[in-house]
Structure 1
Amino acid sequence: MAPGHGPDPALRSLRLPLALTRAGMLAEHVLRAFWPLFSVLMLALAVLMLGLHDMVSVEVVWGGAVLAALGLLVSLVWGIRTFHWPTRAQALARLDETLPGRPIQALMDRQAIGATDAASAAVWQAHQARMAARAASARPVRPDLRISRADPFALRYVATLALAVALIFGSVWRVGSVAEMTPGGAQAASGPTWEGWIEPPRYTGKPTIYLADIPGDRLDIPQGSRITLRFYGEVGALTLAETVSGRIGALPPASEVAQEFDVVQNGEIRIDGPGGKSWEVAVVPDAAPQVSVTGAPQAEAMGTMTLPFTASDDYGVVAGSATIAIDLSEVDRRYGLTTEPDQREPITVQLPMPIAGDRSAFTEKLIEDFSEHPWANLPVTFTLDVQDAAGQTGQGEVFKATLPGRRFFDPLAASVIEQRRDLLWARGNAHRVSQLLKAVSYKPEGVFRSETAYLRMRVILRRLDALSRGGLKAEHQEELGKALWDLAVLLEDGDLSDALERLRRAQERLTEAMKNGASDQEIAELMQELRRATDDYIRQLSRQAQSDPQNGADQPNSGQNQNSMQMSQNDLQKMMDRIQELMEQGRMAEAQQALEELQQLMENMRVTQGQGGGQSQGQQAMEGLADTLRNQQGLSDEAFRDLQEQFNPGANSGESQGNQGRNGGQGRGRSHEGQGGQGEAQNDGEGQPGGGQGQDLKGSLADRQQALRQELNRQQGNLPGQGTPEGDAARDALGRAGRAMDDAEQSLRQDDLAGAIDNQSEAMEALREGMRALGEALAQDQQQQPGQGNAEGEQRARNRDPLGRNAGSNGSIGTEENLLQGEDVYRRARELLDEIRRRSGDTSRPQIELDYLKRLLDRF
């Protein structure tokens, strides 16, 4: 059998696969023959598009052009010689190679023997039919475009990468600039042309502008912008005329090829010559910065001053300062202030600037402590200055106010501070101050609470008398002022080593504050000090009861009778909360009476153990942290609800879908029903927009966040386990929680609810970590405590149920003790809650079990 000639009808179905296969073979032959030509062409285009020819001399450009032309010619000749057109027979052969049994070749064959034999012809036709069926399943053959053998160094990829870089960082229009290097083109390029740029001052943040791209003939340029012009072509063909720089004296020629000048005034810029242009320039002036005091300075109980101010500038404020000077016209010139004061330089402090964000308009607070300055609590003037990046300064109006300082409520301490003020006012008051202090300390009995304070007073008086004989100098004046300040602080704070004395001093200071009309901030800090002193006193009583259990029985007031009463830590806190609430409402008489009752209770207090069912310090700390965590969760829920209502104003009172609080209902989250801050937040109207109180919600949330932060500070001071790794870890975690609460408060005051929610989440996570660490510390401390005897331990072990709980009293099953002694109870509780949620989502469980799990979730 031999292959036939001409088209075979059986191969008509292979037209499309055969054509595609042949096209692929054509691509193979073109690529293998002309890849050097393509590589040289791409490399030449990349060089031109990147503008490398503009960076070298004309000779190098012409040399490169000759090499590129030779390379193109050689690669073209080589490609033509190696290229051959794929034939139809070659395409059929490649397609036939992919089919089993070579059916295409079989279809092209003719029967050479037995064609006249009917049986042989039938066999041949059956064979042809099978081959036709196989050929019908033919698919186009993919071309083999790999030419790694012909290009072992991958030069084609180098050329491709160069072209890609040129397309990204170069320009197609640069290819035409090579024509300027021809003899005719050089003459054309020498024609007069120009280009220029406007560069505004860097502090404005505005971009550089290309002059040729500006439409129209008017320019609005920031003051101080720099204009750069370049002239090309024949020197003198283009000239510059401008009236915006205000330059005088020796000026560069108008035909100078490079011109640079700053815009300082309105005027005109004109380029005369072929292709020239003119612009009317209007200078945008740089306004001077502005600053003003937005409120009277506020003082904390310890004397720290907070002065709010606002500053603004069109391009941003870079620095500022505050100058404080004595206002003699407003000083009450009586007693020691009748003498002419010594000359003192005004106080100058730097104003705080925002760390990040826009400084074009901002509000900040100047926080400084001037309690020890001679001008403390005297009339002064505040003068604020700010500066912008251009060096311009702006000064606010003079603000008159009293320079805040620490207030002393102890009468003896207040008198010492007054004499210190007179001594620092003028050195001529030294004799008068000495006489008054001698009169105050003439009979120390009943006046000085401690011998230390009295002895310090006598030392200061002897030193003052000795230095006054030869004339008091400035350095001696400062030395005595420092000694008098330390003495006043000692008289005000008392001896803090004695817890009871500290408690009495805190109560007396609070009483004096109420009598003298202290501010709310001072009352709040004094109440905080009273809380700390009360906690210290209770801890001292507890340690005394543990070290000497029989000591309490010997005390006259220690026995329990029918008139005695039991109080817990929470009861004391509620009493102090009530006192603070009365003072904030201005009901000072009732607050004074409640404070006296609290003082009597504390004097007669005795810590009970065993029968009293009192809680340990660790349990109280754990309960307090749990309350703080719940309160923080409530504030976060309410902030999230308010954030939802900002984006959905129609969600009145939280009634929109998906806007239910933690406890469900109409937006009443945990914070609506729980405690906020130190006491209970009765939030029936104040927490909702348009509530009955009508107060600002954001301010309310921020104040409650601040109160919660103060409560956490109090709890940190009472945290047990100090010195142990677990206790230190708990303190570190609570420190992080406190910082997150501070950030949340600032975000709430700035109306940044989203940022406040993030900070509150961080605070809650840190609180949970602190509670876990505290639980580990308490468990370890419990394990290290010695038992009360083997017999008692065995008896308690026999009374425990299979879950490890002690038998309850009065026949009850179990007690309220922790189920897991010595383990991380909070971690275990979280795991149990997760397991309950997982099971409640399993629909394959019985319905009665799912109902039970749902009730558990609703309860907990």
Structure 2
Amino acid sequence: MVQFTPDDLRRTLAGLRWPLRLTRLGMFAEVAAQSLWPLMAVILFALAAAMLGLHEVVPIEVLWGAVGLATAAGIWAVVYAYRHWAWPTKPQAMARLDSSLKGRPLTALLDDQAIGEQDAASAAVWRAHKRRMAERVKEAKSVPADLRVSSRDPYAFRLVAVLAFAVALLFGSIWRVGTVAQMASGGTGAAISGPVWEGWAEPPRYSGKPTLYLNDQDAGEIELPIGTLITMRLYGEVGALEVSETVSGNTAQADPEAPAKMAFDFKVSKNGVISVDGPDARHWNVTVRQDAAPEVVILGKPEVSVLGEMRLPFAAKDDYGVEAGEARILLDLASVDRRYGLVTDPDPQPEIIVPLPMPIAGNRVAFEENLIDDFSQHPWANLPVTVSMKVLDAAEQEAQTAPTQMTLPGRRFFDPTAAALIEMRRDFLWSRSNARRSGQILRAVSYLPQQAFRSETTALRLRKLIDRLEMLARFGINDENQSKLAQDMWNLAIELEEGDLEDARERMRRAQERLNEAMKNGASDEEIAELMQELRRATEEYMQQLQREQAQRQDQQEGGEQQQGESMQMTQDDLQRMMDRIQELMEQGRMAEAEQALKEFQEMMENMQVTEGQQGEGGQSPGEQAMEGLADTLREQQGLSDQAFRDLQEQFNPNAQAGENQGNEGRNGGQGRGQSHEGQQGEGEGEQNSQNGEEGGGGQQGQGNQEGQGQEQSLAQRQQQLRDELNRQEGRMPGQGTPEGDAARDALGRAGDAMDEAEQNLRDGDLAEAIDNQSQAMEALRDSMRSLGEAIAEEQRNQQQGQGGQQSDRRADNRDPLGRDQGSNGATGSDSEANLDDDAHNRARELYDEIRRHSEEATRPKLERDYLNRLLDRF
């Protein structure tokens, strides 16, 4: 039997040397904090008052009263510390350390067996017990000190003292403490009655420089920004101190008979000297730091979108930051081809003034931005103009670029009739005297309507426009008639260019057929992506035309009732999800499934009725559609940010195998799908993904150097596509004119700016900065969604008063997702049996997809998403 000897006990206690010392040191800190806090508070209060110079401004009686009060408080604090001070002993430290251990092992080791010492079995148990306690003692650690004194200082005087001392450090001067000694030695009258002086140098606020207390500045050289305000105050006998300066540029001679000034205020405008003559004299040689003028430059030619939107890049900088800017666009009349309707002198048109976009967050010292605007409807569209940009800094200094010649971008029209109509609109806006000529040319264009128009409706509308044009030419044209007629001509040209419903349907069918042929013939990924984008545009145009025609049919029906037929009701978001699914299958290489999904999409588009989002009728309001669109954009941005983060990791760990399992995202930003990080194709389905990883792991290593730059370029292109999608959503944002809607639009603007920065960072290969800008874009998108939600809620509250009867009628026709009638008065529960007809499985699938979509929305509360995920796991 192993004995637990006294030597073992000494060795065990020796191992507690440092935990015991640290515990005792902590107990000493506790005693100091609990005993000395009143004394420290009194000292900090006294120092703060002295550093702030309170003793120099209060009456002498109040000052001596404060000194007596502070002395009494200090004596009480010393007595308090003496009464509460107690040196911690070693047994006390050992007891605290023992109480922190389970079973108090130190006490057990120092105890002796009281009974049964002669019993061998009992003695063996006692020794085993001591060995177990010795093992616990080896795990002992020092006990942290408890420095809280809130129970002794319930009103937090100590914190107030610390705050006062911090204020004194920021706004006071440590040198003022020395004047207290002068007062104690009988110099009180001299300290208060003078002669003394104070001075401050306050730089312009836009410079961001702090105010300088001149009493703390040693004589010698000092550099100040131009425009710095110097304030000098003299105290004591008049004339004992004098202030002279040569920095303000003031050359006026002082009146010798005027009384001496005791206050001086002037601004620094040039190099010079500031002097204080008399007791405590001081002289400074001031060097002025000039405020440089801002700079602005146009970086290149404008980029023009298909619909005529212009994106003009520019860069600006200033030493303290650019405040604002504007672009001025003037017609370059000398470069205009003066033919046809442009032969006549143009009517006076004001120059186009557009404010330049400024960075909302960050530094404006140097930045690059894009002037984005659409001038397609302006009379100068597609004509030569000169563009100049001007910026302004906080000192109201200006900088302007030289006039740059360019053609003002505008929308191009490919339909001959629409192009002719737009040209006559331009001539009409160029000069009102062209009205008669424009009407004659349009009559000639529409002479054979069966060749110039697709439908009689558009031909009749053009005839009415011509009649109005000729009537205005005969009786006179004012600004209102001119702008209204020009707008009608623009709208008709857009309809002629985009076509009617049949044209949109035909374009959509051609896009579907081209995509189907490309998938069958094994086209490249770039070609398939381009064809998919073309299908998206054609489908969106078809949906818009279908909505317009359906709205016209509803207006013609009595009571506004919709015809109920065999057509399928789908929203634009439903179609968007279907196309996303098709593109996802193609990117995964599952062409057979993609062809089948495209076939189902074609069949649905043949028999479809667009819903307009009325409550209770299975549709969505424009606000809800915008909310879902923003949620999709947020998810896409999150995917791009995750991809950029993984690429950044791979730069430091090239051997990392990411994107090859179901939990990670591939190159397309989807979960566990798309390309792996080495460029191989991944299915994202577990086993297949692993197989691809094994087969492609070795072959891809040699391509890393060739594909590295291309990967960032691919991310930049996808970031640009996401930015274009955000522009489209911003144009459809509801709630314009309301505070909530305007806030949502402002947040979208911030998100767009951050996306532009992220795109540029990705093109430059700066992944870290791109991730930061992408995070700002996501935060701005969340702000926009919150503001949009508030706008939707406000709109619904405003509509509730006038919709009571209609809602009650619709509520009676509602059914739950299982086809059961709702309870009385719109209750959500019902005892009726489920209507499990042939469409029950489709409704169940729709319900499942809806739950899955909501579970992926990051804006929903985590508790709700966990609940939805549990439902998905169960069913």
Q: TM-score, normalised by structure 2?
A: 0.55
In 2 relative to 1, CA 37–257 (structure 1 residues): closer, same or farther, beyond 3 Å? same
Q: Provide the C-alpha distance between the structure 2 equivalents of 1:39 and 1:629, rounded to a whole number of angstroms.
A: 52
Which one-letter code corresponds to 2:204 in the other structure? P
Alignment partner of 1:314: what SS? Answer: coil
Which one-letter code corresponds to 1:748 in the other structure? A
Q: Provide the C-alpha distance between the structure 1 equivalents of 2:374 and 2:289, rounded to a whole number of angstroms.
A: 42
Q: What residue is the counterpart of 2:210 in the other structure?
A: 207
Query: Contact 2:247/2:272 (CA < 8 Å) preserved in 1?
Result: yes
1:265-664 mapped onto 2 (5 Å cutoff): 265-470=270-475, 472-495=477-500, 498=501, 500-504=502-506, 528-533=536-541, 547=565, 635-645=640-650, 649-652=651-654, 655-656=655-656, 660-663=658-661
Which one-letter code corresponds to 1:58 in the other structure? I
Q: Provide the C-alpha distance between the structure 2 equivalents of 1:195 and 1:688, rounded to a whole number of angstroms.
A: 73
Please say if 1:217 is aligned against 2:217. Answer: no
Which one-letter code corresponds to 1:752 in the other structure? A
- Per the TM alignment, residue 421 of structure 1 is displaced from its structure 2 partner at its CA by 0.7
- Per the TM alignment, residue 641 of structure 1 is displaced from its structure 2 partner at its CA by 1.2
Q: Provide the C-alpha distance between the structure 1 equivalents of 2:348 and 2:709, rounded to a whole number of angstroms.
A: 48
Alignment partner of 2:310: what SS? Answer: strand
Deviations along 1:30-52, one digit per CA (max 9) or x if unpaired, are: x9xxxx99999999999778755
Query: Contact 2:386/2:404 (CA < 8 Å) preserved in 1?
Result: yes
Q: Provide the C-alpha distance between the structure 1 equivalents of 2:270 and 2:681, rounded to a whole number of angstroms.
A: 64
- Per the TM alignment, residue 419 of structure 1 is displaced from its structure 2 partner at its CA by 0.8
- Per the TM alignment, residue 313 of structure 1 is displaced from its structure 2 partner at its CA by 0.9
- Unaligned regions of 5+ residues in structure 1, if any? 1-26, 85-153, 512-520, 550-567, 579-597, 609-616, 718-733, 771-777, 787-791, 798-804, 807-814, 839-856
Counterpart among 246, 249, 252 of residue 246 in structure 1: 249
The count of aligned residue pairs is: 612
Q: TM-score, normalised by structure 1?
A: 0.56
Counterpart among 758, 765, 768 of residue 748 in structure 1: 758
Alignment partner of 1:376: what SS? Answer: coil
Deviations along 1:197-217, one digit per CA (max 9) or x if unpaired, are: 211001111001122333461
Alignment partner of 1:419: what SS? Answer: helix
In 2 relative to 1, CA 341–235 (structure 1 residues): closer, same or farther, beyond 3 Å? same
Query: Contact 2:532/2:583 (CA < 8 Å) preserved in 1?
Result: no
Alignment partner of 1:458: what SS? Answer: helix
Deviations along 1:352-371, one digit per CA (max 9) or x if unpaired, are: 22222111111222222221
Q: Provide the C-alpha distance between the structure 2 equivalents of 1:576 and 1:454, rounded to a whole number of angstroms.
A: 45
Alignment partner of 2:540: what SS? Answer: helix
Query: Contact 2:666/2:673 (CA < 8 Å) preserved in 1?
Result: no
* Greater Cα offset, 384-393 or 301-310: 301-310
Deviations along 1:629-673, one digit per CA (max 9) or x if unpaired, are: 99777644421212324xxx4423xx15xx633539999767599
- Per the TM alignment, residue 332 of structure 1 is displaced from its structure 2 partner at its CA by 1.9
* Greater Cα offset, 625-634 or 285-294: 625-634
Which one-letter code corresponds to 2:401 in the other structure? G
Q: Provide the C-alpha distance between the structure 2 equivalents of 1:471 and 1:668, rounded to a whole number of angstroms.
A: 65
In 2 relative to 1, CA 823–281 (structure 1 residues): closer, same or farther, beyond 3 Å? closer
Q: Provide the C-alpha distance between the structure 1 equivalents of 2:727 and 2:72, rounded to a whole number of angstroms.
A: 82
* Greater Cα offset, 401-410 or 706-715: 706-715
Higher-Rg structure is 1
Q: Provide the C-alpha distance between the structure 2 equivalents of 1:469 and 1:819, rounded to a whole number of angstroms.
A: 62
- Unaligned regions of 5+ residues in structure 2, if any? 1-30, 84-151, 169-173, 514-528, 551-561, 568-576, 588-597, 609-617, 620-624, 683-695, 732-743, 762-768, 790-813, 823-833, 857-861
Alignment RMSD? 6.5
Q: Provide the C-alpha distance between the structure 1 equivalents of 2:391 and 2:849, rounded to a whole number of angstroms.
A: 60
Which one-letter code corresponds to 2:274 in the other structure? I
In 2 relative to 1, CA 275–331 (structure 1 residues): closer, same or farther, beyond 3 Å? same
Please say if 1:701 is aligned against 2:715. Answer: yes
Q: Provide the C-alpha distance between the structure 2 equivalents of 1:687 and 1:474, rounded to a whole number of angstroms.
A: 68
In 2 relative to 1, CA 531–405 (structure 1 residues): closer, same or farther, beyond 3 Å? same
Alignment partner of 1:413: what SS? Answer: helix
In 2 relative to 1, CA 227–682 (structure 1 residues): closer, same or farther, beyond 3 Å? farther
Identity within the alignment, %:
42
Alignment partner of 1:752: what SS? Answer: helix
- Per the TM alignment, residue 262 of structure 1 is displaced from its structure 2 partner at its CA by 0.6
Which one-letter code corresponds to 1:703 in the other structure? Q
Q: Provide the C-alpha distance between the structure 1 equivalents of 2:417 and 2:66, rounded to a whole number of angstroms.
A: 100
Query: Contact 2:748/2:780 (CA < 8 Å) preserved in 1?
Result: no
Which one-letter code corresponds to 1:640 in the other structure? F
In 2 relative to 1, CA 432–194 (structure 1 residues): closer, same or farther, beyond 3 Å? same
1:107-256 mapped onto 2 (5 Å cutoff): 174=177, 176-177=179-180, 179-180=182-183, 185-187=188-190, 192-215=195-218, 217-249=220-252, 251=254, 256=261
1:251-266 mapped onto 2 (5 Å cutoff): 251=254, 256-266=261-271
- Per the TM alignment, residue 426 of structure 1 is displaced from its structure 2 partner at its CA by 1.7
Q: Provide the C-alpha distance between the structure 2 equivalents of 1:239 and 1:569, rounded to a whole number of angstroms.
A: 84
Alignment partner of 1:692: what SS? Answer: helix
Query: Contact 1:320/1:387 (CA < 8 Å) preserved in 2?
Result: yes
In 2 relative to 1, CA 782–758 (structure 1 residues): closer, same or farther, beyond 3 Å? farther
Q: Provide the C-alpha distance between the structure 1 equivalents of 2:197 and 2:748, rounded to a whole number of angstroms.
A: 64
Which one-letter code corresponds to 1:661 in the other structure? G
Q: Provide the C-alpha distance between the structure 1 equivalents of 2:289 and 2:270, rounded to a whole number of angstroms.
A: 9
Q: Provide the C-alpha distance between the structure 1 equivalents of 2:212 and 2:700, rounded to a whole number of angstroms.
A: 54
In 2 relative to 1, CA 472–763 (structure 1 residues): closer, same or farther, beyond 3 Å? closer
In 2 relative to 1, CA 573–274 (structure 1 residues): closer, same or farther, beyond 3 Å? same
Deviations along 1:683-739, one digit per CA (max 9) or x if unpaired, are: 99999997536756545313214446778999999xxxxxxxxxxxxxxxx999999
Q: Provide the C-alpha distance between the structure 2 equivalents of 1:485 and 1:795, rounded to a whole number of angstroms.
A: 50
Alignment partner of 2:198: what SS? Answer: strand
Query: Contact 1:383/1:398 (CA < 8 Å) preserved in 2?
Result: yes
Query: Contact 1:663/1:670 (CA < 8 Å) preserved in 2?
Result: no
Which one-letter code corresponds to 2:770 in the other structure? D
Please say if 1:692 is aligned against 2:691. Answer: no
